Amino acid sequence: MTIENTIITYLIAINALAFLLYGIDKYKAIKGKWRIPERKLLGVAIAGGSLGSLLAIWTFKHKTLHKKFSLGIPFILCIQIGLILFYLKEC
């Protein structure tokens, strides 16, 4: 497996995890149960799951009123896209 394939596999997995975590948190919010800490939701976005996080925010209409999510997640995604483009340019 090449480094590119490893990175792609990682990004697919971390974004799926992010989407799942946001969905679980929304479900728990509706049911009034224990919630996933915001630092973990943001952490999974920073770890590469920003696209999955953003898609989950839109899909579940969750965390839309929190600026650190509604503005922070798109900002993180832009930074990550920039890093990917920089990497691709260097190859």
Task: Give the model confidence (pLDDT) of 2-55 as tens digits.
Answer: 988 999 999 999 999 999 999 999 999 999 999 999 999 999 999 999 999 999
How high is the pLDDT of residue 69? 95
> Residue 48, exposed/middle/buried by CB under 10 A (0-12, 13-18, 19+)?
buried
User: Going by C-beta distance under 8 Å and a sequence separation of 6 or more, which residues neighbour residue 82?
Assistant: none
Size of the chain in residues? 91
How high is the pLDDT of residue 1? 78
H or E segment at 87?
A: helix 72-90
pTM over 0.85? The answer is yes
